[in-house]
Structure 1
Amino acid sequence: MAEIQSLETRQAIGRAARENAKRSMHAKVGNVDRDPIALLQQNSAGRVEALVPLRYGRMSVSPFTFFRGSAIIQAHDLAGTANTGIVFPICGDAHLMNFGGFATPERQLVFDLNDFDEVATGPWEWDVKRLTASLAIAGQHMGIARGPISEFVATAVHEYCDRIREYSEYSTLDLWHEIVTFERMIESTDNEEGRRAIIKAREKAEGRTSESMLEKMAAQRDGHWVLQDAPPALFHPGGPNTLLGKDHAWSNTQAWENKLAAAFDDYLGTLSPERRALAGQFALQDVAFKVVGVGSVGTFCLVMLLIDSHSKPLFLQVKEARESVIAQHFTADGLAHQGQRVVTGQRLLQAASDAFLGWTTGPAKRYFYVRQLRDMKISAEVERMNNTLLQGYARLCGWALARAHAKASGKAVEIAAYLGNGDRFAEALTEYAFDYAAQNEKDYETFIKACRSGKLEARSDEDMAADFRV
C-alpha cells in the first residue's frame, strides 16, 4: 500500500514547485526557434499519403484551424519552458473544440474533455496553456477585440483555479465521482442567454444517436445494411473510391474475415465481461474508412456498422493511435501500446467514459482504440457564439479541465497550493495566450506560403470530392 502524505506535506510540495517555475514565468511562449513546416511534415509521416493534402487543406482555412491541426508545434514550444514538475496524464490537446457533451453509459448527458489522441504524462499547465491560446486565436479569428478576449482567457483560468481549490478539499471518492452534468451547467450559469444555449444544446444532443444516423450513412441491400461512400470523408477501403493506395487497399469482406476479426476479438478482451456480452448481441454489417477532424486526417480510422436482432444500429469508430506529441517532447514513462495509452488516459481524465471504449492492434501492427462513433455527442459551435456565450463557454471549459486534472492526478492539493490565491497565474496566462496567438499567426503565414509555393499540397474537401464525380 502507498504511504499517504499529510495535507500539510502536499501543500508544501505545491508551494515548493514555484522554485521550479515562478507563476510569472508561464507568460513565456517557449522555444519558437524552429521550422513549423518540418514539424508538420514529421507529424504527417506514416499517414495515408492521399489524405495528407486534405489535412493541410482543412488546416489552411484559418489560423484557428491551423492551430487545431498543429498540436505538435505547441508541444515543441512548451518543451522549452520551465514547468512545475507536477506531472500526470494530461489531455495533451485541450483546445476549446475538444470539449463537448456526450452520454454516460447511464444515459446522463455530461460536459467534459472528449479527445484524447495526445494524452500522455506531462505538466498540467500545458493543458491550460493550450486552452487559453485557443481562446485567443479563436477570438481574433472571429474579429473580437482584445479586451473581451482577455476576459475570456481570464475567465477560463480563474474558473480552473477556483475549481482546483474547491477540489483540493474533496475526499478521494467524492472527487472520483464528480461529474459536470448539463443540469449543473444550467444551474451555474448566471444569465438567461447562457441557460437557453445549454438547453438547446442538450435537446440537440439527445437527437444525435446511432439510430438517427443509420439512414443518413447507410442503405439496405437485400436485407443487409451497407455504408454509403461519400469520398473523401467516407469510403470503402477496397472499393472503387478508396484513397488508401495499392499498399493498403483491401476487400472489405476479406479484410474483416482475415485481418480484422482477430483484432476485433482482441478489442473485446479489453472490455469488462458485461460489456463484452453486450457487444456480442450485435452482428457486423459493414466496415468503411472515415476521415475525421483536422489534426487526425490521414491517420487510419474505420467505422463499423453493427445491427442487433431488432435492426437497431451500433456504430463503432476504430481509430488509429499514434505516439502522442506530448510524449515526443516531454520524457516520461508510458504505455507501449498507443491504443491502450489513449483508453487509459481517457478513463482517468473523463468523469465517465464510453461503454464500448477499448483498444486493439490492427493490420500492419498499427495501434487502435475503439469507441462509439456517436452517442449523444455534441460539440460547441464556437464561431456562432457572441461574446456573452463565448465567455460562458470559456468558464465551462475551465471547470471541466480542472475536474479532469483533479481526478486523473489526485494532486489537486499540490496544484492549488502552487496557484495560491492571487492573480499571478491568470495574468501570466493572459499574456501567454496573446503572445502565442501572435506566434501562431506567424506560423500560419509560413504554412500558407508553403502551400502556395508547392512545398506542401493542400486540397479542400470539395476539391477532393470533385475527383469522384462523373
Structure 2
Amino acid sequence: MADLESIEDKRAAGQKARERTKRSEHREVGKVDRDPVELLQRSSQGRVEALVPLRYGRMAVSPFTFFRGSAILQAHDLSGTPNTGIVSPICGDAHLMNFGGFATPERQLIFDLNDFDEVAIGPWEWDIKRLAASFAIAAQHMGLGRGVASDLVMVVVNSYRDRIAQYAQCSALELWYERITFEGMIETAVTPEGRRLVRKGMEKAAGRTHESVLSKMAVEQDGRWIMRDAPPALFHPAGPNSLLGAQSDWAETDAWKKKLHKSWHEYLDTLAPDRRELLSRFTVEDIAFKVVGVGSVGTFCLVMLLIDSWGKPLFLQIKEARASVVAQYFNAPGLGHEGQRVVVGQRLLQAASDIFLGWTTGPQSRHFYLRQLRDMKVSAAIELFDTTMLEGYARVCAWVLARAHAKAGGKAVELASYMGKGDQFAEALVHYSLACSKQNEKDYDAFLHACRSGKLEARTDEDMAADFSV
C-alpha cells in the first residue's frame, strides 16, 4: 500500500496549486470562439433521430433551460481555462436543478446530487463553476437583476468554501457517513418560510412511491400490468406509437426482448448478492421507452415495471450512459464502460445510493445503468422562490457539493488550503458566472436562429403529442 500524505503535505499541495493557477485566474470564461450549434449537433449524434427535435424544443424554452441542456458548451469552454491541477471524481453537471431529495435504503430522506450522466475525473472547480453559473442564469431567468445574481454566486462559493473548511477537519469515515438530511435542513433554515418549504418537500416525497405511480402510468389487463402509451413521453419500443424507427432493431418485439434478457443478467452480476435475491422476488410485467429531462432527451431510456407476489410494483429506469462531456475535454483515466462510470461515480459522490444501482450493455452495444425510477424523489420549484429562499437553496446546494467533493476525492484539506478564508476565489467566480451568463445568452440566440432558419428542428411536447391525436 502507498504511504498516505500527511495533513501538512495536503495543505502544502493546496498552497502550491495557487502557483499553478492564481485564484483570480478563475475569472476567465474560456474558449468561446466556437460554434455552439455545431457542438450541440455533435452531442445529438447517436440519439433517437425522431426525438432530437424534442430535445431542442425543450432547450428553446428559455436561456435557463438551454443552459441545462448544453453542458457540452461549458465543458468545452472550461477546457481553455487554467485549472488548479487538483483532480478528483466530479459530478460534471452540478447545475442547480440536478440536486434533490430522495430516500436512502434506510428510508431516511436526504438532499443530494441526483444526476451523474457527466460524472468523470476532472478539475474540482469545474463543478463549482457550473453550479455558480447556473444560479447567475437562474437569477436572470427570474428577472432578479445583476446585483442579485452576484450576491447568489457569492453565497454559493463562500458557502462551499466554508463547508470544505469544516470537512477538512473530518476523518475519512466521518466524511463517508456524512448525510444532509431534511431534518438537518430544517434546523439550518434561516426563515420560517424556508422551514415550511422543507417540510412540504418531505410531505411530497412521502407520496412519491412506486405504488402511487402505478395507477398513473399503467393499467391492469387480463391479470397483467401494462404501461399506457403517452407519446412522445412514454411509448412501447415495438408498439404502434414507437418513435425509435425501423433501423433501430427494436421494431421486432422478440428480438429486443431477447437482447434485454441477456442485458438483465449482466446487470444482476453488478449487484451485491442480497440485491439479486431481492429482485428474484419480482417478475417483469412490461417495458416502455421514456423520455426524460432536457439534456438527456433522445438518449435511450427504458422503464421496466416489475411486480412481486403481493401485486406490489417496482419501477426500474434503464438509462443510456454516453461519453461524459468532462471526459471529452479533460484527459483522465476512464473505466471503459460508460454505465460503470456513472455507477462508480454516483456511489463515490452521493451520501447514499439506490440499492438497485448497476450497469449493463444493451442492444446495439449501448451502455446503460439502472436505478429506481421513483423512490420518494423530489426537486425544487425555484420559479416559486423569492430571493431569500433562493439564497437558502444556494447554501444547501453548495453544502451538498462540498460534501460530495470531500467524500469522493478525499482532498478537502487541499481545497480548503487553496481557497483560503478570504473572498478572492468567490469574487473571481462572480466575474466568471456573469460572463458565463452573458455567453449563454449569445449561444441561446445563435441556437434560436438555427431553429428558426431550419438548420435545427425544434418541436415542443405538445407539438409531438398532437401527431398521435385521433
TM-score, scaled relative to structure 2: 0.99
Whole-angstrom CA distance in 2 between matches of 1:2 and 1:77: 36
CA deviation after TM superposition for structure 1 residue 98, in Å: 0.2
Q: Secondary structure at the match of 2:336?
A: coil
Partner of 1:438: 438
After superposition, residues 304-383 of structure 1 pair within 5 angstroms as 304-383=304-383
Partner of 1:399: 399
Q: Secondary structure at the match of 1:306?
A: strand
CA deviation after TM superposition for structure 1 residue 153, in Å: 1.2
Partner of 1:268: 268
Q: Deviations over 1:238-271 (max 9, x none)?
A: 0000000001253685246411001001101101
Change in Cα spacing, 1:255 to 1:207, as seen in structure 2 (3 Å) is farther
Whole-angstrom CA distance in 1 between matches of 2:66 and 2:251: 35
Whole-angstrom CA distance in 1 between matches of 2:313 and 2:100: 23
Q: Secondary structure at the match of 2:139?
A: helix
What is the one-letter code of the residue matched to 2:313? P
Whole-angstrom CA distance in 2 between matches of 1:445 and 1:190: 38
Partner of 2:179: 179
2:177 counterpart of 1:141: no
CA deviation after TM superposition for structure 1 residue 219, in Å: 0.1
What is the one-letter code of the residue matched to 1:86? I
What is the one-letter code of the residue matched to 1:365? S
Whether the aligned pair in 2 keeps the contact of 1:242 and 1:249 (CA below 8 Å) is no
Partner of 1:228: 228
Partner of 1:127: 127
What is the one-letter code of the residue matched to 2:114? N
CA deviation after TM superposition for structure 1 residue 442, in Å: 0.3
Q: Deviations over 1:25-58 (max 9, x none)?
A: 1111001010000100000000000000000000
Whole-angstrom CA distance in 2 between matches of 1:256 and 1:448: 37
What is the one-letter code of the residue matched to 2:85? G
After superposition, residues 66-465 of structure 1 pair within 5 angstroms as 66-248=66-248, 250=250, 254-255=254-255, 257-465=257-465
Structure 1 gaps of 5+ residues are: none
Q: Deviations over 1:395-435 (max 9, x none)?
A: 00000000000000000000000011110011111111111
Change in Cα spacing, 1:462 to 1:249, as seen in structure 2 (3 Å) is farther
Whether the aligned pair in 1 keeps the contact of 2:256 and 2:363 (CA below 8 Å) is no
Whether the aligned pair in 1 keeps the contact of 2:320 and 2:367 (CA below 8 Å) is yes
Whole-angstrom CA distance in 2 between matches of 1:17 and 1:360: 38
Q: Secondary structure at the match of 2:306?
A: strand
What is the one-letter code of the residue matched to 1:411? K
Whether the aligned pair in 1 keeps the contact of 2:160 and 2:398 (CA below 8 Å) is yes
Whole-angstrom CA distance in 1 between matches of 2:391 and 2:257: 50
Whole-angstrom CA distance in 1 between matches of 2:351 and 2:253: 37
Q: Deviations over 1:450-469 (max 9, x none)?
A: 00000000000000000000
What is the one-letter code of the residue matched to 1:132? A
Whole-angstrom CA distance in 2 between matches of 1:370 and 1:152: 35
CA deviation after TM superposition for structure 1 residue 2, in Å: 2.1
Q: Secondary structure at the match of 2:441?
A: helix
What is the one-letter code of the residue matched to 2:93? D
Whole-angstrom CA distance in 2 between matches of 1:219 and 1:459: 29
Q: Secondary structure at the match of 1:247?
A: helix
Partner of 2:63: 63
CA deviation after TM superposition for structure 1 residue 349, in Å: 0.1
What is the one-letter code of the residue matched to 1:100? G
Whether the aligned pair in 1 keeps the contact of 2:302 and 2:317 (CA below 8 Å) is yes
Whether the aligned pair in 2 keeps the contact of 1:103 and 1:377 (CA below 8 Å) is yes
What is the one-letter code of the residue matched to 2:117? D
Partner of 2:36: 36
2:53 counterpart of 1:53: yes
Whole-angstrom CA distance in 1 between matches of 2:59 and 2:347: 29
Whether the aligned pair in 1 keeps the contact of 2:286 and 2:304 (CA below 8 Å) is yes
Paired residues in the alignment total: 470
Whether the aligned pair in 2 keeps the contact of 1:343 and 1:359 (CA below 8 Å) is yes
Q: Secondary structure at the match of 2:463?
A: helix
What is the one-letter code of the residue matched to 1:297? V
What is the one-letter code of the residue matched to 2:30? G
Whole-angstrom CA distance in 1 between matches of 2:300 and 2:309: 30
TM-score, scaled relative to structure 1: 0.99
CA deviation after TM superposition for structure 1 residue 5, in Å: 1.2
Q: Secondary structure at the match of 1:379?
A: coil
Whether the aligned pair in 1 keeps the contact of 2:249 and 2:256 (CA below 8 Å) is no
Q: Deviations over 1:137-192 (max 9, x none)?
A: 11101101222222211111111000000000001100111110001111111111
What is the one-letter code of the residue matched to 1:94? A
Whole-angstrom CA distance in 1 between matches of 2:257 and 2:319: 19
Q: Secondary structure at the match of 1:205?
A: helix
Whole-angstrom CA distance in 1 between matches of 2:148 and 2:446: 28
CA deviation after TM superposition for structure 1 residue 19, in Å: 1.1
Q: Secondary structure at the match of 2:232?
A: coil
What is the one-letter code of the residue matched to 1:161? R
Whether the aligned pair in 2 keeps the contact of 1:275 and 1:355 (CA below 8 Å) is yes
Moved over 2 A (4+): 249-253
